[in-house]
Amino acid sequence: MKLASFFSMTILATVGLLGCSNQADTNADGSSTNSQDTTTLRFSYYWPATSNMNTEIFEPWAKKIEADSNGRLKVELYPSATLSEPGATYDATVKGIVDIGSQAHGFTSGRFPLTQIAELPGLSNSATQMGCIVQTLYDNGTIASEYEDSHLLFAYGAGPGVLHTTTKPIKKPEDMKGLRMRHPSVVAASLMENMSASPIGLPSNDIYTSLQRGVIDGLSLPWGAVETFKIDELVKYHTNIPFYSSAALVTMNKQKYDSLPDDLKSVIDDNSGMAMAKKVGEVLDKEDQIALKNAKALGQEVTDIPDPLNNPAWKGILLEGTQQYLDDVTKLGHDAQDVYQKTQAASAACKV
């Protein structure tokens, strides 16, 4: 075993032991003399500590879990992917390397093909709607099979991933030809390829330097994320189009959840589900609106294409990309068309 691996395992083991802090003394029969034992849950995610997701969602959520459990549950927060890589956080949660994790579905290519049907064009126009769609599909069992190895706390969604470029505006699909575009998921990558762009996969934290060095010409991100990752300092042009939407999740290690007594499970359950999906949506939608306003105030060029599926220049290629993705999911042995129809129904029910 390499020395670095030994130290890494030692640190993880130490953190795990600290998770059992404030352990009570026991009686002769082995029962606890203190009902206030603390279970520490390590929560890992890629959002920066300064992001609204951290300060307005995850920090208050952690405090509420602690308060509702009378201090018997403590959530330790690890933002900026300090405890697990962005694309490996779901698996790290499944394996118990972390207790709770949040990542975008698209960070793990091919892992959530049914869930990512909700990311296709024309299904969502806001973070609130997107989170509601995915949570609905989980709650009604449509996509629940993709999460059987963990305990899903809640899904959430980002606002539409619009296009941002450094050298030229994108007004029609042909303008994408030859551009090196950072993509966040297989859905977005497929759509970009259909427009003759070169999709490049990069972690969110690498986008800024890649733009700065000319490694990429642009990217697709929700408006709020452009400010979160300071992309607004480098791009000049924006195409305000609901090109695709990203789904994300917060999940918990199944064994850790199952090990909790029923009253602490209830604390977790009461702070999960649709209410959290919508709360995240409200925060991200507000963030998107502010970022769009700021981009215009900076004098950056914004091209609005609010309804691309009814725009002659965009409709054909986006529908073609949609069917291509559904065909790919069908080849995996899933009834993609049925899931797509149920996603459309959820989209209509969740429309804000």
Residue-by-residue DSSP string for 98-111: SSEEEEEGGGSTTT
Distance between alpha carbon 26 and the CA centroid of its chain, in Å?
42
- Return per-residue pLDDT of the chain as tens, 352 residues: 443 443 343 333 333 433 433 444 443 333 333 446 999 999 999 999 999 999 999 999 999 999 999 999 999 999 999 999 999 999 999 999 999 999 999 899 899 999 999 999 999 999 999 999 999 999 999 999 999 999 999 999 999 999 999 999 999 999 999 999 998 888 989 899 999 999 998 888 889 999 999 999 999 999 999 998 899 999 999 999 998 999 999 999 999 999 999 999 999 999 999 999 999 999 999 999 999 999 999 999 999 999 999 999 999 999 999 999 999 999 999 999 999 999 999 999 999 7
Task: Name 277's Cβ contacts closer than 8 Å, sequence gap at least 6.
Answer: 131, 132, 134, 135, 154, 155, 156, 157
Global confidence as pTM: 0.85
Superfamily (CATH H level) for 38-112+125-157+246-286: Bacterial extracellular solute-binding protein, family 7 (3.40.190.170)
Return the DSSP state at 140. Answer: T
Whole-number CA gyration radius for the chain: 21
Task: Identify the helix (H) or strand (E) that includes residue 221.
Answer: strand 218-221
Residue-by-residue DSSP string for 233-262: GT--EEEE----EEEEEEEE-HHHHHHS-H
Domain boundaries, the chain: 38-112+125-157+246-286, 162-245+287-349
Query: In the block, which residue shows the tokens 């470029």?
Result: 165
Predicted local distance difference test score (pLDDT) of residue 36: 65
Q: Do domains 38-112+125-157+246-286 and 162-245+287-349 have the same CATH topology?
A: yes
For residue 115, which amino acid is it?
A: T
Return the HEC string of 293-322: HHHHHCCCEEEECCCHHHCHHHHHHHHHHH
Predicted local distance difference test score (pLDDT) of residue 109: 84
CA–CA dist 67, 254 (Å, integer): 22
Q: What are phi and psi of 159, to 5 degrees?
A: -70, 175
Superfamily (CATH H level) for 162-245+287-349: Bacterial extracellular solute-binding protein, family 7 (3.40.190.170)
